[in-house]
Structure 1
Amino acid sequence: MPWTKTRTRKVLLAAAVTAVAVALAVPGPATAASGPVSDVRFVAHLSIADGQRPENITLEPGGDADVTFAYSRQVARITSDGRTRVLATLPAPPAGSSTPALTSPFLGGIVRAQDGTLYFLYATGTSDLTGVWRLRPGGPPKRVAALPADGLPNGLALDGRTGLLYVADSVLGVVWRVPTAGGTPSRWATAPELQSAGFLGANGIKIHNGAAWVSNLDKGTVLRIPITHRGAAGRVETRATGLVNIDDIDFTGAGNTLLAAVNGDNEIALVTPDGIHTVVLTAADGLENPTSLAVRGGTAYVASGAYFTDKDPNLLAVRLRHGSR
């Protein structure tokens, strides 16, 4: 998500939307990272002029990536050979509307169900548009659940076993739960650990090994919230610290080792189950304010929004070495 180390940089969020275009390179090799990752390559270079600043990512079975473009209100597909196709554009809110914390309308987390349906989050500061949206293959986008207009629904996760969606709200410091069929959201988890420290709190979210894992941008933490056998939220556990400006997370495999996108610092960190983190990718590898991650098999896909570098929003792919999974 668009953020930095201090709230004062929030003014850059609006400026980034109107930035001029940059010359685009042909997708290809980036740099050869060392350690737990290798073989970094560009999947796609995106266009600032066209509003292509990816905020979140989910993967298609064939290797394409579905992304949200934060401020152009678009859901798009990036093919494995670097082509971009817009799947849907969401309606603009009324003039004068203001999204909490960010001002501009914001398209956030996205997930894909097994039947190909996409679910994603839209925040506008208005009650008629803010909430969970659905896009079925070949159909129009439709809101299936309203969320509070004074919040900022940001991270989105799908529990494939139960058909429930989990939403991390960065302004209200809440995790909402919503059935994929739609309906009224329930306030699933609230805790001080989810609150912001002045700007944005709960951010990225994943369902993994019987728990919801949530990043907190302001506090630089990774949290684990057990899902009880009745589906309720257990006690919040802090599993990692020292990751201020953390955006999205994803797990490298069946264990609890994860990758964290540290937006403002242009870093991807590998976080082990004991909470120790090591930086494995930097700006030298092509990162431009990384916003989101998706891991499949031995490959991690990293989307960069270039919110503050304002140069080259892109999608990278990187191979995970066996020891990092």
Structure 2
Amino acid sequence: MRRALALALTLIGVVALAGPAAGERTAPEKWPTTVFSTVGKPGFPAYVHVAPNGRVYAATYTNPAGDTMASRVLEWTASGTLLRSWTVPGQDLGAPHGVQVATSDARGRLVLLEKSRAQVLTLNPRTGRFKVQATLPDLPGAGHPIPNYAAWGPGGKLYLTDYGQGVIWRIPAKGGEPTPWFRSEALEGAGFGTTGIVYERSRRSFLISQQTTGNPLDLLRGHLYRLPVVAGGAPGEIATVWTSGPLDLPDGFGVAQSGNVYVALLGTNRLVRLGPDGKVRATFPPGPVLGANGSAIPFDSPSNATFLGTRVLVANQSAILGTASHHAILAVEVGEPGARVFIPRRARLR
């Protein structure tokens, strides 16, 4: 997410003329959208996490134009009332910085992914204590690590996407050093890398979203992949579930109980609903770029789709335009409940 913004501004007009993705439903779909909460400075909210206790969390990223404000972690009630916030310590404020609230552990701590130092942290909401759990290393010839999304997998191990290095990391149960679990050219983006990850327990596999690949024949299209976990916890063969339109930039996503997948398209300011077979069932709004969702705040770089009941909560990041009044969490009624997020009893770091 949130990188190569100058390239995005150059190409976004091309996307508007490109038409719908292959197989896309063209009939209008209306999903009532409201403002769950606005997000103040430093703004640029990232992924929204709904904890098992029903509280809602999100954190903030740096202004693309540059700032020296530390990231904040915000907490809301399920109705959108802001309760508390915490300032993230230890960031390199001279570098691009930001935090994702990726998930919770079995002890109720929040798992945070910090960009400037490529670190995994935990935050105990009861005590306000932050703790550094791991640092992602540079891989030879692979660029700089950027932890992006995370999900618990089999055996209480934590799996992380890396926006910068084309790798899925794994941290052992109860913590430890991260190791590369899966590397593939499919995860190497053309300036826009690997984003969301969700574990499908019934399939024993991960769904993984990719904004673009390094293949020039892909024409800056994104993908949703499925990656099984095979015997011994090794990765199986990655397969494409869905391919987006040019510069849709698929970001975070949520999975419904039905198996439908709701993906935020950061590049074209839309949400797309995919069936369990990967076919497009609907897009909202039907036209790209403008983000006209019927609420007081249009979609502007929507970066995720996290279920809260039958609504999905969307972090409206405005990563390209940087419009402060668009920094908000939006609630989109999609008419079906989300699947339970997998947080096993062994899901804990140090």
Query: For residues 89 and 207 of structure 1, what CA distance do their matches in structure 2 show?
Result: 27
Q: Work out which structure has the larger RCO, using CA pairs closer than 8 Å and 6 or more positions apart in sequence.
A: 2
Match of 2:302 in 1: 290
Query: For residues 227 and 311 of structure 2, what CA distance do their matches in structure 1 show?
Result: 26
Identity of aligned residues (%): 23
Matched, 1:142 2:96: no
Paired amino acid for 1:275: G
Instruction: Please give the TM-score of this superposition, normalised by the length of structure 1.
Output: 0.79
Shift of the 308–185 alpha-carbon distance from structure 1 to 2, 3 Å rule, reads same
Flag structure 1 segments of 5+ consecutive residues without an equivalent: 11-33, 99-103
Q: State the Cα distance separating 1:284 from its structure 2 match.
A: 1.4
Aligned-residue CA RMSD in angstroms? 2.6
Q: State the Cα distance separating 1:287 from its structure 2 match.
A: 1.5
Matched, 1:154 2:157: no
2:149–2:197: 8 Å Cα contact kept in structure 1? yes
Paired amino acid for 1:248: G
2:211–2:249: 8 Å Cα contact kept in structure 1? yes
Q: Find the partner of 2:265 among 262, 285, 288.
A: 262
Shift of the 303–84 alpha-carbon distance from structure 1 to 2, 3 Å rule, reads farther
Query: For residues 57 and 93 of structure 2, what CA distance do their matches in structure 1 show?
Result: 27
2:310–2:335: 8 Å Cα contact kept in structure 1? yes
Match of 1:65 in 2: 56
Query: For residues 183 and 323 of structure 1, what CA distance do their matches in structure 2 show?
Result: 35
Q: Find the partner of 1:246 among 250, 270, 287.
A: 250
Shift of the 86–273 alpha-carbon distance from structure 1 to 2, 3 Å rule, reads same
Instruction: Please give the TM-score of this superposition, normalised by the length of structure 2.
Output: 0.74
Query: For residues 211 and 296 of structure 1, what CA distance do their matches in structure 2 show?
Result: 23
Shift of the 258–52 alpha-carbon distance from structure 1 to 2, 3 Å rule, reads same
Q: Find the partner of 1:76 among 68, 74, 77.
A: 74
Paired amino acid for 1:176: W
Matched, 1:200 2:192: yes
Paired amino acid for 2:73: V
Q: Find the partner of 1:171 among 145, 149, 164.
A: 164
Paired amino acid for 1:210: R
Paired amino acid for 2:266: N
Matched, 1:237 2:239: yes
Query: What secondary structure does 1:288 align onto?
Result: coil
Q: Find the partner of 1:190 among 183, 194, 199.
A: 183
Paired amino acid for 1:55: A
Of Structure 1 and Structure 2, which has the larger fraction of its residues in strand?
1
1:88–1:140: 8 Å Cα contact kept in structure 2? no
